[in-house]
Structure 1
Amino acid sequence: MDVAQSMETSSGEAIKCIDMHTTGEPTRIVYSGFPRLEGTLLDQRDQARNEYDHLRKRLMLEPRGHFDMYGAIIIQDTELVRNGTADIGVLFTTNSGYSTMCGHATIALGRFLVDTHDLTVFPKRDGLVWDQASRQITLNIHAPCGLVSVQVPTTADGRKSDPSRQVGFLSSPAYPVAMGLTIPIPKEVRWPELGDRESVTLDISYGGAFYALIPARELGFDQGLGRVDLASMTSAVKRLKPYLSSHAEVVQALRHAEDERLSFLYSVMVVDDTVGSKPPGVEGTETGLCIFADNQIDRSPTGSCVTARMALAHAKGNRPVGQRWAYNSLVSNHFNEGAFTATIYDDKVHVTEFNGNVRPAVIVRVEGSAFYTGAMTFIVEEEDVTGQSGFTMEGVTK
């Protein structure tokens, strides 16, 4: 018995994970060892948060993770899996909690679910259908925001995913909820770059989670995202986001969700449509910096926000059905590799919000690439005070 096995036995608790990244943004896929959850997927999300949040902290934070770690917990049993609509479920984890949708993690998870043939991990794996002509497998993932259809390219024999081709997913319905919203910024909230301005104008759009979309120059960063003082921009958003989350007009906009538990501001996305790496076959490109959860920075272009941005652009008349657009992060611009591409797939769908209103929406196809970085078994020893539930350096210095 090796050391890892002996510690696993002595601790009585081990969680097994596969690590991947999508344009540099990590996804720690939890495939074994997380306690069984009950009820609907949103109920299971509540249970994970209320009863097992110490496990999220162990996996996301130091010493096993870091401030910007991201995770995906495979959920084998949900209401959509039981009725045959979905093949598998997932819960997404951040440095501070549980998100409702994540595009970069969906892209990674699609590859992993095709590559695993362990039915204890993915009971419905053998039921997936391989399309030999396109060398592609489609699977349906139940995310907290709804159903997401994922198309995973495969090798010639259909047994494994093909990392040389992009994974695509069709989003749950996406729609803007506020356009051109001018928000006054009180003195105690303002940041130095804002100067004498007393307000900012932004949009709010839903792509499985709610995003406040604001141009970099609107925040006072006149050089946009071409050259970024990351510390200053993060500091500005850190002041802005809590204020927006409690502002009456923003709170009202966030009520346009299909379930009240989805009704919160997940992120501020700083955007710049004047810069961006441009892959072949797209008609345009732009860049975004996504700051979410507890001031966590997304290295990827943020697939769920790409969905939200496409829905917003379509509503403004700027993105017709079928037009292919590229969305970059600071990382994809640096490497000139890793942009997400997106198209409006369907603009004839409607959603019923939890307040009863019916709203037009779109389905967006988003494409990107994810890669494996490692595999691990995490354990905890009873004597380990530091590693019991995870920490951040910011937290220990407060």
Structure 2
Amino acid sequence: MAASIARASKRVPNSPCAWYLQGHARRFSGQQVFEGWGASGRRLQCVDCHAGGEPARVILGGLPAIPGRTMLDKRLRMMQPDFDAFRKLLLLEPRGYPCQNANFVIPPTGCHPTAAYGVVIAEQGRVYPAMSGHNLMCVATVLLETGMVPMQEPGTDFDLETPAGLVSVRASCKHGKVVQVTLQNVASFCRPEDMDVDVEVPDIGKVTLDVAYGGMFYAIVDASKLGLELKSKNGREICRLGEMIKTACREQHPVNHPQFDYPGCDILVLTENQRREGNRVCGKNAVVMSNGKLDWDRPQTWTGMLDRSPCGTGTSAVMAQLHARGILGLEQDFVHESIVGSHFTGRLVEEVLITSEKEQIKAVVPTISGRAWITQYCEVVCDPSDPFPEGYVVGDIWSGDE
């Protein structure tokens, strides 16, 4: 596959599904975030999907205008309590559940002229990742299958602006459906100083890991070193150990992106059965995400949730790690299996340098291929009399307070 994906698409405001975006933002852009909210007021136009088994809710309309010069600025604005109320409404109970994600599709900022749309991604625990592969596969599928980006068969190319940077999309299309999405992700890396890091984890002891960036910062741990098998029946123990290791790593070995403020690690991937099959490398993984805040004094919070998909940014981070260790070269397929048996295929297409005032980092440009499916079209509302306008969590399935 070529190192670069064509970047020639343009926004199409008069597409068949333009009603998703038109009217609502203009109507409410000058009001307070929740003024007029309710069944007779603002409605969020949503399309629910999954990629590799992991759900994603794509929000196409109903938001007020989000201030910010860049997509990073808009991400930070959406993290503030008034806008974060949208994430809570969509992801917490009674409208959401622990593994749900949200993708706010908004106009691009102009920082990347080829971008068709901008996307701010939101997850549980007030996590707003700079990039997410499975989420972007869902967004791309929705934009094409609703007509917001004109579909061309057998393939459609366009760009999306994320807080991490520009992500190029190549979608294979057939009979009006998206049958595969390939994302050219942002530059990913695993620095020498972030390899073979020892962290002390309460109740576990010393754990050796690598930290790599693939759009999020991942602590990467060999599951066999913990005596774990990556099977769904072991999900509770995988989450317990993973969330503890991730939190300890963040406390003892903090990292940040060299070009913008994005502290980590913010997520963890356990790897298993990595092997070479011909000219490709294969492996299995389990990605542990937070659905609350771990408190070392409260063991009941020592848990999280598993990404059901093979994880796009996790696949990118693992490929960067394998490349740094000389295991995965350019133009070699990397087949990544999830906890539920779904697969993404990654490939490193280019070596690049990330430069800042303080350092120069050897990085790689990954692509990730997978497929997403639309599961429902809906309008989410909140009646003014609803006692749970920002949702709630309960300790039976949530790891802690939101």
What is the TM-score of this pair, normalised by structure 2? Answer: 0.80
Q: Tell me the distance in 1 between the aligned counterparts of 2:52 and 2:247.
A: 28
Aligned to 2:87: 56
How much does 1:79 deviate?
Answer: 3.4
- 8 Å contact kept, 1:41–1:79: no
Moved more, 371-380 or 33-42: 33-42
Residue 140 of structure 1 pairs with residue 179 of structure 2: no
Q: Offset at 1:396?
A: 10
Match of residue 243, structure 1, among 239, 242, 248: 248
Distance 1:220 1:136, change over 3 A: same
1:313 aligns with 2:322: yes
Partner of 1:194 in structure 2?
none
How far does the alpha carbon of each residue in 1:96-151 deviate from its partner, in whole angstroms, 9 at most, with x for none? Answer: 1211110011111111112223xxxx4xx35x8x4x6xx21111111111111010
Amino acid at match of 1:286: G
8 Å contact from structure 1 (residues 190, 239) kept in 2: no
| 1:179 Cα offset (Å) | 4.7
- Backbone CA RMSD of aligned residues: 2.4
**2:145·2:178 contact (CA, 8 Å) conserved in 1?**
no
CA distance in 2, matches of 1:288, 1:234: 13
Q: Does the alignment pair 1:343 with 2:374?
A: no
* One of 278, 295, 298 as aligned partner of 2:307: 298
Match of 1:153 among 168, 172, 186: 172
Match of 1:105, SS state, is helix
User: Against the structure 1 CA distance between its residues 257 and 298, is the aligned structure 2 distance closer, same or farther, given a 3 Å change threshold?
Assistant: farther
Partner of 1:272: 272
Task: Give the C-alpha shift of residue 243 in structure 1.
Answer: 1.8
Give the structure 2 partner of residue 205 of structure 1: 212
1:373 aligns with 2:392: no
Partner Cα distance (2:166, 2:317) in 1? 16
1:46 matched to 2:76? The reply is yes
**Letter of the 1:299 counterpart:** R
Distance 1:99 1:369 in 2: 20
Show CA shifts across 1:282-315 (max 9, x none): 7232111101233232000000110111111111
Measured against aligned partners, the alpha-carbon deviations of 1:330-377 in whole angstroms (never above 9, x if no partner) come to 112xxxxx3001111112x11124x53221211111100110100111
Does residue 1:20 correspond to 2:49, yes or no?
Answer: yes
- Which 10-residue stretch deviates more, 262-271 or 207-216? 262-271
Opposite residue 177 of structure 2, the aligned amino acid is: S
The question of whether the paired residues in 1 share the 8 Å contact of 2:38 and 2:383 is answered with no
Q: Distance in 1 between matches of 2:40 and 2:105?
A: 22
Letter in 1 for 2:393: T
- Of Structure 1 and Structure 2, the greater helix share is in 1
Question: What is the identity, as a one-letter code, of the residue corresponding to 1:370?
Answer: A
* Residue 137 of structure 2 is aligned to residue 107 of structure 1: yes
- Which residues in structure 2 correspond to 1:219-230 (within 5 Å)? 219-221=226-228, 224-225=229-230, 229-230=234-235
Inter-partner Cα distance in structure 2 for 1:31 and 1:219: 42
Distance change in 2, residues 1:227/1:154 (3 Å) = closer
Q: Which SS does the other structure have where 1:104 is aligned?
A: helix
Task: Give the counterpart letter for 2:344 in structure 1.
Answer: F
Contact 2:199 2:248 in 1 (8 A): no
1:190 matches 2:203: yes
Q: Which stretch shifts more, 234-243 or 317-326?
A: 234-243
Given that 1:148 and 1:172 are in contact with CA atoms closer than 8 Å, whether structure 2 keeps it comes out as yes
User: How far apart are residue 227 of structure 1 and its match?
Assistant: 7.2
> Which residue of 2 is the match for residue 284 of structure 1?
281
For residues 118-133 of structure 1, what are the structure 2 equivalents within 5 Å? 122=148, 125=149, 130=152
The reply on whether 1:170 has 2:181 as its aligned counterpart is no
For residues 39 and 184 of structure 2, the distance between their equivalents in structure 1, rounded to whole angstroms, comes to 44
